Amino acid sequence: MNSVRLCPIPYSQRPSNEYNNIKNSFKFSWTFQSSKNFYKSLMKSIAINYLIAYVITLNMDHKNAFINLKSIAELFLITSVLSITYLLQSYLACLYVYKRLMMSVVTYEESGWYDGQTWVKSKEVLVQDRLLGLYELRPIIIRLETVLYSFTSILGINLFVYVLN
């Protein structure tokens, strides 16, 4: 008998299935791409965020038609905040699934109400989940952390430039 079949956790709440769902979802699939494609997707996202920021600042400050350092800092501030929000959402989703993969006990809901059921993973499932977490998800989390640190630094620099002007 396979121990996975004896698992009482509903299919959608199993950590390995949560990993597959997040990996294949439209919202988060870009984070699981190769490094080259990840950074291409990130640049596209930044460009879209920049256009959104440009439209926002254009509507807010339509009286000043000239571009100065403060308006450029505003654009980059809004772009940084939008990008950090998007990256942080991806990071937190991956971190949640990673923690569930690494835990030896899984909490789940059997019914629509939170009933707090727990299941101790079998040895085979635990090894499989931890390998998936360590070798598949952890590098993604590290890459997202690095990018988040970079964007936070850029946000700090933009804020500094904005306040000075």
**Residues contacting residue 87 through CB under 8 Å, at least 6 positions apart:** 144, 147, 148, 151
Q: What percent of the chain has pLDDT over 70?
A: 90
pLDDT of residue 1 exceeding 50, the answer is: no
Amino acid type, 66: F
Domain that holds residue 93: 14-19+35-101+137-164
Long-range contacts formed by 45-51: CB under 8 A, 24+ apart: 45/83, 45/86, 46/79, 46/83, 49/78, 49/79, 49/82, 49/83, 49/86, 50/75, 50/79
Q: Is residue 6 in some structural domain?
A: no
- Angle formed by the axes of helices 123-132 and 15-24, to 10°? 30
What is the reported pLDDT for 161? 86
Q: Is residue 86 in some structural domain?
A: yes
Q: Is residue 26 in some structural domain?
A: no
pLDDT band at 2 (very low <50, low <70, confident <90, very high): very low
Q: Is residue 24 in some structural domain?
A: no
Pick from 101, 88, 125, 80: which is nearest to 21 by CA?
A: 101
Q: Is residue 46 in some structural domain?
A: yes
Tell me, letter by letter, the H, E, C secondary structure of 58-111: HHHCCCCCCCCHHHHHHHHHHHHHHHHHHHHHHHHHHHHHHHHHHCCEEEECCC
65 or 132: which leads in pLDDT: 132
What tens digit of pLDDT does each residue of 90-120 get? 999 999 999 999 999 998 887 766 677 888 9
Amino acid type, 51: L
pLDDT band at 62 (very low <50, low <70, confident <90, very high): low
Task: Round the average pLDDT of the chain to a whole number and report it.
Answer: 88
Q: Is residue 126 in some structural domain?
A: no
Q: Is residue 145 in some structural domain?
A: yes
Q: How many domains does the chain have?
A: 1
Q: Is residue 4 in some structural domain?
A: no
